[in-house]
Protein backbone atom coordinates (compact mmCIF):
# COMPACT_ATOMS: atom_id res chain seq x y z
CA UNK A 1 0.00 0.00 0.00
CA UNK A 2 2.81 2.40 0.85
CA UNK A 3 4.46 1.73 -2.50
CA UNK A 4 1.19 2.46 -4.29
CA UNK A 5 0.76 5.78 -2.47
CA UNK A 6 4.30 6.84 -3.38
CA UNK A 7 3.62 5.89 -7.00
CA UNK A 8 0.45 8.00 -7.07
CA UNK A 9 2.35 10.98 -5.63
CA UNK A 10 5.05 10.64 -8.28
CA UNK A 11 2.53 10.36 -11.09
CA UNK A 12 0.67 13.40 -9.84
CA UNK A 13 3.93 15.33 -9.96
CA UNK A 14 4.56 14.14 -13.51
CA UNK A 15 1.10 15.29 -14.51
CA UNK A 16 1.95 18.80 -13.31
CA UNK A 17 5.03 19.26 -15.48
CA UNK A 18 5.31 22.70 -17.06
CA UNK A 19 4.32 23.35 -20.64
CA UNK A 20 7.11 24.07 -23.11
CA UNK A 21 6.48 26.29 -26.13
CA UNK A 22 8.88 28.07 -28.46
CA UNK A 23 9.30 29.45 -31.98
CA UNK A 24 11.29 27.03 -34.14
CA UNK A 25 11.22 29.07 -37.38
CA UNK A 26 10.75 32.81 -37.84
CA UNK A 27 11.62 34.37 -41.20
CA UNK A 28 11.86 38.15 -41.41
CA UNK A 29 11.28 38.65 -45.15
CA UNK A 30 7.64 37.74 -45.75
CA UNK A 31 5.52 38.78 -48.73
CA UNK A 32 1.69 38.92 -48.80
CA UNK A 33 -0.22 38.15 -52.00
CA UNK A 34 -3.73 39.54 -51.36
CA UNK A 35 -2.69 43.15 -50.70
CA UNK A 36 0.18 45.62 -50.84
CA UNK A 37 1.44 46.99 -47.52
CA UNK A 38 1.50 50.72 -46.93
CA UNK A 39 4.77 52.24 -45.69
CA UNK A 40 4.73 52.05 -41.89
CA UNK A 41 6.97 51.82 -38.86
CA UNK A 42 4.96 48.81 -37.67
CA UNK A 43 7.33 45.86 -38.05
CA UNK A 44 5.81 42.52 -39.04
CA UNK A 45 7.19 39.28 -40.41
CA UNK A 46 4.65 36.46 -40.37
CA UNK A 47 2.09 39.13 -39.44
CA UNK A 48 2.30 40.32 -43.05
CA UNK A 49 0.27 37.24 -43.99
CA UNK A 50 -3.05 38.75 -42.94
CA UNK A 51 -5.29 36.19 -44.66
CA UNK A 52 -4.68 32.61 -43.54
CA UNK A 53 -6.22 29.28 -44.49
CA UNK A 54 -5.94 26.32 -42.11
CA UNK A 55 -5.59 22.78 -43.49
CA UNK A 56 -6.98 19.64 -41.81
CA UNK A 57 -5.11 18.83 -38.61
CA UNK A 58 -2.65 15.91 -38.77
CA UNK A 59 -3.03 14.34 -35.32
CA UNK A 60 -1.90 10.96 -34.03
CA UNK A 61 -3.53 9.71 -30.84
CA UNK A 62 -2.70 6.81 -28.56
CA UNK A 63 -4.24 4.51 -27.53
CA UNK A 64 -6.39 4.25 -30.64
CA UNK A 65 -9.12 2.46 -28.70
CA UNK A 66 -10.65 4.95 -26.20
CA UNK A 67 -11.69 2.04 -23.97
CA UNK A 68 -8.03 1.57 -23.02
CA UNK A 69 -7.70 5.10 -21.61
CA UNK A 70 -7.67 5.52 -17.82
CA UNK A 71 -9.66 8.73 -18.17
CA UNK A 72 -12.31 9.12 -20.91
CA UNK A 73 -10.70 9.77 -24.31
CA UNK A 74 -12.68 11.76 -26.85
CA UNK A 75 -10.27 11.84 -29.78
CA UNK A 76 -12.78 13.21 -32.33
CA UNK A 77 -13.75 15.91 -29.82
CA UNK A 78 -10.10 16.83 -29.25
CA UNK A 79 -9.44 17.12 -32.98
CA UNK A 80 -12.61 19.12 -33.52
CA UNK A 81 -11.75 21.41 -30.62
CA UNK A 82 -8.24 22.06 -31.90
CA UNK A 83 -9.47 22.76 -35.44
CA UNK A 84 -12.01 25.33 -34.29
CA UNK A 85 -9.71 26.90 -31.69
CA UNK A 86 -7.02 27.65 -34.31
CA UNK A 87 -9.47 29.75 -36.31
CA UNK A 88 -10.89 31.56 -33.28
CA UNK A 89 -7.57 32.31 -31.59
CA UNK A 90 -5.76 33.67 -34.65
CA UNK A 91 -8.75 35.81 -35.58
CA UNK A 92 -9.80 37.12 -32.17
CA UNK A 93 -6.47 37.34 -30.38
CA UNK A 94 -4.06 38.13 -33.21
CA UNK A 95 -6.20 39.92 -35.80
CA UNK A 96 -5.76 37.58 -38.77
CA UNK A 97 -8.48 36.88 -41.33
CA UNK A 98 -8.77 33.12 -41.00
CA UNK A 99 -10.64 30.46 -42.93
CA UNK A 100 -10.38 26.68 -42.67
CA UNK A 101 -10.83 23.76 -45.03
CA UNK A 102 -10.75 21.27 -42.15
CA UNK A 103 -13.93 19.10 -42.20
CA UNK A 104 -13.98 19.34 -38.39
CA UNK A 105 -14.79 23.08 -38.63
CA UNK A 106 -18.47 23.87 -39.13
CA UNK A 107 -17.80 27.17 -40.92
CA UNK A 108 -15.18 25.69 -43.24
CA UNK A 109 -14.76 26.85 -46.83
CA UNK A 110 -14.79 24.46 -49.78
CA UNK A 111 -12.25 24.64 -52.59
CA UNK A 112 -13.30 21.71 -54.75
CA UNK A 113 -10.80 19.23 -53.32
CA UNK A 114 -11.70 15.88 -51.76
CA UNK A 115 -11.17 15.35 -48.03
CA UNK A 116 -8.46 12.76 -48.73
CA UNK A 117 -6.63 15.17 -51.04
CA UNK A 118 -6.64 17.92 -48.41
CA UNK A 119 -5.46 15.49 -45.72
CA UNK A 120 -2.64 14.30 -47.96
CA UNK A 121 -1.59 17.89 -48.68
CA UNK A 122 -1.47 18.62 -44.95
CA UNK A 123 0.70 15.55 -44.32
CA UNK A 124 3.13 16.52 -47.09
CA UNK A 125 3.54 20.04 -45.73
CA UNK A 126 3.91 18.74 -42.16
CA UNK A 127 6.62 16.28 -43.24
CA UNK A 128 8.48 19.04 -45.05
CA UNK A 129 8.21 21.40 -42.09
CA UNK A 130 9.61 18.78 -39.71
CA UNK A 131 12.68 18.37 -41.93
CA UNK A 132 13.66 22.02 -41.31
CA UNK A 133 15.14 22.13 -44.83
CA UNK A 134 17.07 25.35 -45.49
CA UNK A 135 16.57 27.45 -48.59
CA UNK A 136 13.75 27.44 -51.12
CA UNK A 137 11.26 24.56 -50.89
CA UNK A 138 10.99 21.88 -53.59
CA UNK A 139 8.77 22.78 -56.53
CA UNK A 140 6.12 20.28 -55.34
CA UNK A 141 5.82 21.96 -51.93
CA UNK A 142 5.82 25.50 -53.33
CA UNK A 143 3.23 24.53 -55.94
CA UNK A 144 1.02 22.86 -53.35
CA UNK A 145 1.07 25.89 -51.04
CA UNK A 146 0.44 28.29 -53.92
CA UNK A 147 -2.43 26.25 -55.34
CA UNK A 148 -4.26 26.09 -52.01
CA UNK A 149 -3.61 29.75 -51.22
CA UNK A 150 -4.84 30.96 -54.60
CA UNK A 151 -8.01 28.84 -54.32
CA UNK A 152 -8.92 30.53 -51.03
CA UNK A 153 -7.31 33.90 -51.84
CA UNK A 154 -4.98 33.69 -48.84
CA UNK A 155 -1.54 34.99 -47.93
CA UNK A 156 -0.52 32.02 -45.82
CA UNK A 157 -1.30 28.34 -45.29
CA UNK A 158 -1.41 26.93 -41.73
CA UNK A 159 -0.70 23.30 -40.86
CA UNK A 160 -1.15 21.92 -37.35
CA UNK A 161 0.28 18.47 -36.62
CA UNK A 162 1.49 16.35 -33.74
CA UNK A 163 0.54 13.58 -31.33
CA UNK A 164 -1.18 12.98 -28.01
CA UNK A 165 -0.44 9.88 -25.91
CA UNK A 166 -2.20 9.24 -22.62
CA UNK A 167 -1.96 6.61 -19.90
CA UNK A 168 -3.75 3.29 -20.32
CA UNK A 169 -5.07 0.75 -17.86
CA UNK A 170 -2.13 -1.50 -18.79
CA UNK A 171 0.28 1.31 -17.84
CA UNK A 172 -1.39 1.54 -14.46
CA UNK A 173 -1.18 -2.23 -13.96
CA UNK A 174 2.52 -2.37 -14.83
CA UNK A 175 3.26 0.64 -12.62
CA UNK A 176 1.45 -0.86 -9.66
CA UNK A 177 3.37 -4.10 -10.08
CA UNK A 178 6.76 -2.44 -10.49
CA UNK A 179 7.25 1.01 -8.99
CA UNK A 180 10.58 1.37 -10.83
CA UNK A 181 8.65 1.46 -14.12
CA UNK A 182 6.44 4.41 -13.12
CA UNK A 183 8.56 7.25 -14.46
CA UNK A 184 9.49 5.70 -17.86
CA UNK A 185 5.91 4.68 -18.56
CA UNK A 186 4.23 7.92 -17.60
CA UNK A 187 6.88 10.19 -19.10
CA UNK A 188 5.81 8.91 -22.51
CA UNK A 189 2.29 10.25 -21.88
CA UNK A 190 2.67 13.57 -23.68
CA UNK A 191 1.01 16.14 -25.91
CA UNK A 192 3.35 17.36 -28.65
CA UNK A 193 2.13 19.70 -31.41
CA UNK A 194 3.58 22.02 -34.01
CA UNK A 195 2.03 24.82 -36.06
CA UNK A 196 3.60 25.75 -39.39
CA UNK A 197 2.76 28.71 -41.61
CA UNK A 198 3.75 28.78 -45.28
CA UNK A 199 3.92 31.91 -47.42
CA UNK A 200 1.66 31.46 -50.46
CA UNK A 201 3.62 33.84 -52.67
CA UNK A 202 6.76 31.65 -52.69
CA UNK A 203 5.83 28.53 -50.77
CA UNK A 204 8.39 29.18 -48.03
CA UNK A 205 7.96 28.00 -44.45
CA UNK A 206 8.07 31.34 -42.61
CA UNK A 207 6.92 30.48 -39.08
CA UNK A 208 6.82 27.39 -36.89
CA UNK A 209 5.84 27.14 -33.24
CA UNK A 210 5.98 24.08 -31.00
CA UNK A 211 4.09 22.88 -27.92
CA UNK A 212 5.09 20.07 -25.54
CA UNK A 213 3.65 18.90 -22.27
CA UNK A 214 4.25 15.78 -20.17
CA UNK A 215 0.80 14.58 -19.15
CA UNK A 216 1.83 11.91 -16.65
CA UNK A 217 -1.37 10.35 -15.40
CA UNK A 218 -3.55 13.20 -16.64
CA UNK A 219 -5.31 14.01 -19.89
CA UNK A 220 -4.33 16.62 -22.45
CA UNK A 221 -5.34 20.21 -21.59
CA UNK A 222 -8.45 21.69 -23.20
CA UNK A 223 -8.00 22.35 -26.96
CA UNK A 224 -8.36 26.12 -26.59
CA UNK A 225 -5.59 26.16 -23.96
CA UNK A 226 -3.25 24.12 -26.18
CA UNK A 227 -3.83 26.50 -29.08
CA UNK A 228 -3.39 29.59 -26.88
CA UNK A 229 -0.03 28.25 -25.65
CA UNK A 230 1.05 27.11 -29.11
CA UNK A 231 0.38 30.47 -30.79
CA UNK A 232 1.18 32.65 -27.78
CA UNK A 233 4.39 33.96 -29.35
CA UNK A 234 3.08 34.64 -32.85
CA UNK A 235 2.96 38.32 -33.73
CA UNK A 236 -0.32 40.09 -34.52
CA UNK A 237 -1.40 40.56 -38.13
CA UNK A 238 -0.56 43.83 -39.83
CA UNK A 239 -3.52 46.17 -39.14
CA UNK A 240 -5.85 46.60 -42.12
CA UNK A 241 -5.26 50.36 -42.07
CA UNK A 242 -1.76 49.70 -43.41
CA UNK A 243 -2.96 47.76 -46.46
CA UNK A 244 -4.04 48.68 -49.98
CA UNK A 245 -5.21 46.62 -52.99
CA UNK A 246 -2.42 44.57 -54.57
CA UNK A 247 -0.47 46.10 -57.41
CA UNK A 248 -1.60 44.88 -60.83
CA UNK A 249 1.21 43.61 -63.02
CA UNK A 250 1.29 43.74 -66.79
CA UNK A 251 -0.22 46.22 -69.27
DSSP string for 72-126 = ---HHHHHHHHHHHHHHHHHHTT--EEEE--TT-TT----S--HHHHHHHHHHHH
* Number of neighbours of residue 187 by Cβ within 10 angstroms: 13
Model pLDDT for residues 127-141, shown as the tens digit of each residue = 999 999 878 899 999
The set of residues, in sequence order, having a beta carbon less than 8 Å from that of 173 and lying 6+ positions away, is none
The pLDDT value given to residue 126: 97
Residue 167 CA, distance from chain mean position: 22
The pLDDT value given to residue 250: 43
The pLDDT value given to residue 17: 56
Model pLDDT for residues 149-187, shown as the tens digit of each residue = 999 999 999 999 999 998 876 666 555 555 545 555 666
pTM of the model: 0.87
pLDDT at residue 57 is higher than 50: yes
What are the chain's domains?
20-34+46-167+188-238 (3.30.160)
pLDDT at residue 217 is higher than 80: no
Looking at the chain, the whole-number percentage of residues with pLDDT higher than 70 is 83
> SS3 breakdown of the chain: % helix, strand, coil, rounded to 5?
40, 20, 40
**Pairing of β 51-54 and β 156-165:** parallel
The pLDDT value given to residue 171: 63
Amino acid sequence: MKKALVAVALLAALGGCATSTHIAVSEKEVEPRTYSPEPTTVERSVGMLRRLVVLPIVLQTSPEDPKLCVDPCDWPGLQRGLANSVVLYLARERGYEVSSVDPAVESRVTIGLERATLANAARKLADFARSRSAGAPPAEIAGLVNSIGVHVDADGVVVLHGSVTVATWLDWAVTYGSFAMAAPIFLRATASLEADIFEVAHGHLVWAGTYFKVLGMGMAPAPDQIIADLFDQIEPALPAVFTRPPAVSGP
